[in-house]
Copies of this chain bind each other. A is one copy, B any other.
Amino acid sequence: MAIHKRGRQSFVLPQLPVIRNWASVAGKKESEGPLAHTFDITSQDTYFGEKTWEQAEKKMQQMALHKLAEKAGMKKGEFELVLSGDLLNQCIGSSFSLRNTGIPHLGLYGACSTMTESLLLASVMVGGGFADKVVAQTSSHFASSERQYRFPLGYGGQRTPTSQWTVTGSGAALICSSGTGPRIECCTLGTVTDLGIKDANNMGAAMAPAAFETIRAHMQDLNRTPEDFDLIVTGDLGQLGKELLLELGRRNHLPLGGKLADCGTLVFDNTTQDVHAGGSGCGCSAITLCGYLLNQLNEGKLRRILFCGTGALLSPTSTQQGLPIPGVCHAVSIITGRD
Contact = CB atoms under 8 A, between A and B. Distances in A.
A99 interface: yes
Contacts of A1: 14-15, 129, 177
A193 interface: yes
User: Main secondary structure on chain A at its contact with chain B?
Assistant: loop
A105 B191 contact: yes
A5 B131 contact: yes
Q: Give this chain's copy count.
A: 2
A318 B192 contact: no
Contact of A101 (B15, B104, B192): B192
Contacts of A313: 90-92, 95-96, 107
Contacts of A51: 321
A3 B317 CA distance: 44
A29 to B, nearest CB: 23
A110 interface: yes
A44 interface: no
Interface in A123-137: 124-125, 127-132
A133 to B, nearest CB: 10
Nearest to A90: B315
Interface string A322-339: 010010101000000000
A103 B8 CA distance: 9
Contacts of A85: 109
Contact of A192 (B9, B90, B95, B193): B95
Contacts of A111: 90, 107
A188 to B, nearest CB: 9
A251 interface: no
A192 B100 contact: yes
Contacts of A201: none
A84 to B, nearest CB: 10
A96 B128 contact: no
A70 to B, nearest CB: 21
A319 to B, nearest CB: 10
B88 A315 contact: yes
Contacts of A121: 106, 121
A262 interface: no
A81 interface: yes
Interface string A30-51: 0000000000000000000001
Given A91-B313, A106-B121, 7 more contacts: A54-B318, A92-B313, A95-B326, A100-B192, A100-B194, A106-B189, A127-B130
27 contacts: A1-B129, A3-B132, A4-B128, A4-B130, A5-B130, A5-B131, A11-B131, A52-B321, A54-B321, A55-B321, A89-B317, A90-B318, A91-B313, A92-B318, A95-B326, A96-B318, A96-B323, A98-B192, A99-B326, A105-B190, A105-B192, A106-B117, A107-B328, A124-B124, A124-B128, A127-B128, A128-B129
Interface of A: 1-5, 8-9, 11, 14-15, 51-52, 54-55, 80-81, 85, 87-92, 95-96, 98-111, 117, 120-121, 124-125, 127-132, 177, 189-194, 313-318, 321, 323, 326, 328, 330
